[in-house]
Amino acid sequence: MTAPGSSFGTSHGAARGDHDHLLEFEDVHLSFKGITALDDVSFTVDEGELFAVIGPNGAGKTSTFNCINGVYKPQEGTIRWKGEDILGRRPDRIAELGVARTFQNIELFAHMTVLENILLGRHIRTKTSWWDGAIWVGPAKREELASRAAAEDIIDFLEIARWRKYPVAMLPYGVQKRVELGRALAMEPELLLLDEPVAGMNLEETEDMARFILDIREELRISMILVEHDMGLVMDIADRVMVLDFGERIAIGPPAEIQRNPNVIKAYLGEEMET
């Protein structure tokens, strides 16, 4: 694992400003041509928290992510980042604030190497101009060397060094999911949106990914929102869980409380899970 003082990790600072929560998602309503995707959904995420969102297919989980990172603009409601309203901002501006995302379906550049894909995540943090980059001297050279060092640290953190020079199309599915996670980490986020990070994985790959998610929270202190269908994983690692059903929030609370909630059992879990 990465030692303290690594060249990657959040660069935005951990000091709390005049805000109660890192993210506030308040009374959000989103619809498409009369079809309601989110119906007055509200929740908060605190610094260092691992917050999970579960629900049946079509419940509004991915729509929630798309509202947070600016892909969708809700018709009603408020989304605040550190107390500041970000509703309507472009996705790239929200990413600059410190919000990164992985995708349910792998969205990597298949013919680029592991290192090159992770370096793409550094683009949001580079400041030098294209001209400086073309001549590659002074600040541009220092910035690229720092980005490469950060990417190598991420590769070590996620234990994918043996594949660093391989095109990602050649890699096992579980390793590709780690590479996508690495690209998001390269953006130096304060909030990481994980969209079904263990979907399609076998048991060993799932356990590895769960370990990395916990390491991200404990070692890097990055807050996370996790959308996942693997209920065992969610109940094991989440601090709080929100349940959506047909765009409505039907429950929110600690995992043990969610497992016993009759509305959740009826809508999604099917039966009470063992605690």
| CB neighbour list of residue 200: distance below 8 Å, 6 or more residues apart | 173
pLDDT tens by residue, 145-157: 888 999 999 999 9
**d(Cα 229, Cα 270) in Å, to the nearest integer?**
13
Place of tokens 């709390």: 16
pLDDT band at residue 9 using 50, 70 and 90 as cut-offs: low
pLDDT of residue 128 exceeding 90, the answer is no
pLDDT band at residue 144 using 50, 70 and 90 as cut-offs: confident
DSSP 47-80: TT-EEEEE-STTSSHHHHHHHHTTSS--SEEEEE
| CB neighbour list of residue 152: distance below 8 Å, 6 or more residues apart | 115, 164
**2 in Cβ contact with 219 (< 8 Å):** yes
- Average pLDDT, integer, range 17-40: 91
What's residue 105's pLDDT? 85
**269 in Cβ contact with 54 (< 8 Å):** no
| β-strand partners of 167 | 113
pLDDT tens by residue, 106-116: 889 999 999 99
- With H, G, I as helix, E, B as strand and everything else as coil, classify residue 34: coil
Taken in order of first residue, the domains within the chain and their CATH numbers are 21-98+189-275 (3.40.50.300), 108-188 (no CATH)
pLDDT tens by residue, 195-220: 999 999 999 999 999 999 999 999 99
Mean pLDDT of the chain: 87
pLDDT of residue 225 exceeding 80, the answer is yes
